[in-house]
Every structure is written in structure tokens, then in C-alpha cells.
A = this chain, B = another copy of it.
């Protein structure tokens, strides 16, 4: 249990603090404009030159000085017209109210302020797709090397088309994934199902064997590339990688069926193959996979070394439907990871929309500029 650090009221700021100011409540259950909103931390209020602790402390309430001179914390709804209510927003004593955020060590953020919503990773935080789209387009247009690390949920859940779009439009430096991503993608191309489930999410008859039949066809062809060439694989993520010459690394695991011919089954050799891309990475997008995300996080620097030797943070986005995977990634040292807590399908769909919008805006801006420039030249 943390121990209590008493405040030092002799230090400059607090020693010269004024008394707190109180204003009458304008109506029953209504506080005066600018009322002080309490926290649950020890709070000292200067009255008649003395620092006092109010009774019945709690957060989200007001400070009320009653007619007997007693100081209370009161919910706004309980305040009566005319009650004297403390006003002020400063919590550092400069308006006569001091919230002692450092009363117990490690209780609050490093800046010593009481705050809501300080969790780093939460489904309750907004997702800034516009910023992610801007970074992605910047990366592409400046010759960056974004690596995408994906789990099979991407294929299960029909984000497959969106992933193909990103590959075909030059946003994927390399794709790192496991056997399952390729298996379900190829099952979808050949049979229209993933793990025997239709695109509408229904289990199909005889469906449990379809991924095995897909694997067998590729093994018969000899490689994914050969199966694309002979028309067995007609579309999808692996098809897009092969036809656009986008490098991919498929690494093996003990969960694998098959595996497909290109899968690197030795974990050490697989790490070396992943690392060849990680050392070149200028951005990382990790989607719906704990195993591959943490494996990649282990081998990624937290920064990019530019050609001129300068450093910048390596933008790392980790998408998962639960906070746990992102926290786990951070807990294993990938502190720079920015977490997006959502469904992989929805993430891919909205990200693509924002990237398309960003591209459009840049096109308009770039065509507008020369026009303006030539207009200027004509003057």
C-alpha cells in the first residue's frame, strides 16, 4: 500500500494562495457558473487563510460551505438555491483549492493531474482512421516499406477484398502471415468458403474438408505460384501477391494443416525470413494475430533510421477485437504500438475508404497547385 505524502503548504505557490471563492447557487440543483468539480483525491480548500479538507469527499461534485462554516462535498442535485459553492478550475492552489494528486505515489499520471480515460488501449477510444490513412499514403508515396502482418480472421471475415485492394495499390511492402491465412484465402478462391463456412457465415455440408481439398490442390501444383499460373487460384490475397510480385513470408506452426508448399516450417528459418523484411520496415500494420504480431514486435526496432542517419518512430498499428492482444504486445516491449480495438473486417473496410479519400484529396490538391502556378506564371 502506498504511504501518504502530506502537502507542503509552505512552498511558494501554496504559501501565497488566496482564499477560495464561493458563489451562491442560482437555483435548487443548479450550480453557479464556473463551479469547482471535485475529484476523489485529498483536496485542500483555503478558507480564512487555513487549508481545510472537506467532509464526505467524492468525485464529480461541488464544494459547499454551509451556514455553520462546515465544508462539504455535495452532489449538484442536492445543492439548494443560495448555498455557497466554490468556484474555480485550477487544481494547483492558485485559486485557493489544491488537489493533492501526489498524495499517494503512482496514483495518477506523470503530470500529477486527475484525469479520465488514461488507459492506453481501450475500445472506448475513438479510432483516427484519417491519420492512419495519411501515414499509409505518405509511406507509399515516399517509397516506404510497410509490412503487414495478418491473422486468418482477415480472410474469415471477408476483409479479403480490401486486403487485395491494398496489395494492388502499392501499400504492402511485404505480407507476413501463417499457413492458415493462405489456406483460407485459397479455399475461398476455389470453393467460396472459409473453414467450410459460407460468406454469409453458415456452415456448409461437407464443408469441414474443403480447406484440406484446397491444400491438396496446391500441393499437387507444387507451389502457390504454380497454382496461380495454372488457374487453380483465380483471385484473393495470395493471387494478388503473386501477380504483383509483392513478397510474402508464410511461416509454419503446430496448428497447420498441410502445410502449403511455400510455408517455412522451421521456426528459426521462419524468423530469419521475417527478419529480412523487418529490418527494412518503415511501418508495421498488425491485424488480428497475437502470435505473428508479437513475433514481429520482437524483431522490429521501435524506430526507423532514415538514409541521412536521422531517426523517427516506426509507426506500428495493432488491430484486435480485444484490448488484451495489444496490451500483451506492449507488455513484451513493443511500447510504440498503437492499439485499435475493433473487428478486422470493419477495420480494413473503413481504412480503405479513408485511404481512397486521402488519395482523391491529394490528386485534387496536386492538380490545383499547378493550375494556380500556371495562373501565377501567366501574370
Contact = CB atoms under 8 A, between A and B. Distances in A.
Interface of A: 1-4, 26-27, 29-31, 35-37, 39-42, 53, 56-60, 75-77, 89, 91, 103-104, 107-110, 113-119, 122-128, 131, 135, 153, 156-158, 195-197, 199-201, 203, 205-209, 211-213, 215-216, 219-220, 251-259, 265-268, 270-271, 274-275, 278-279, 290-292, 294-295, 298-303, 305, 310-313, 315, 321-324, 327-328, 330-336, 341-343, 345-347, 349-350, 353
A335 B101 CA distance: 11
A294 B252 CA distance: 14
Contacts of A26: 220
Contact of A313 (B4, B322, B327, B343): B4
A119 B195 CA distance: 13
Main secondary structure, interface of A, reads loop
Given A76-B219, A255-B294, A315-B1, A58 B300 contact: yes
Contacts of A301: 40-41, 57-58
20 contacts: A35-B212, A39-B333, A58-B278, A60-B333, A77-B259, A89-B206, A107-B313, A113-B205, A119-B331, A122-B331, A126-B158, A126-B199, A126-B345, A127-B157, A127-B346, A252-B268, A253-B295, A265-B266, A265-B267, A266-B266
Contacts of A295: 253-255
A328 B124 contact: yes
State how many copies of this chain the complex holds.
4
A191 to B, nearest CB: 13
Contacts of A116: 195-197, 203, 207-208, 331-333
A112 B35 CA distance: 38
B216 A300 contact: no
Contact of A216 (B31, B103, B290, B292): B31
Contacts of A254: 251, 253, 267, 270-271, 274, 291-292, 295
A196 B258 CA distance: 37
Give the top 3 A-B pairs by smallest Cβ distance, nearest first: A37-B209, A342-B343, A252-B267
A110 B118 CA distance: 14
A13 to B, nearest CB: 17
A255 B254 CA distance: 13
Given A201-B128, A313-B2, A342 B321 contact: yes
A305 B53 contact: yes
A332 B156 CA distance: 13
A154 to B, nearest CB: 11
Contacts of A157: 123-127
Contacts of A208: 37, 39, 59, 114-116, 333
Contact of A346 (B274, B328, B346): B346
Nearest to A313: B104
Nearest to A221: B30
Contact of A156 (B60, B126, B270): B126
A365 B299 CA distance: 53
A117 B195 contact: yes
A124 B91 CA distance: 36
B302 A41 contact: yes
Given A40-B336, A107-B336, A124-B156, 18 more contacts: A27-B220, A40-B300, A56-B279, A60-B333, A76-B215, A77-B268, A108-B335, A113-B205, A115-B333, A117-B331, A118-B331, A126-B158, A127-B346, A195-B332, A253-B253, A256-B271, A266-B266, A349-B350
A333 B327 CA distance: 20
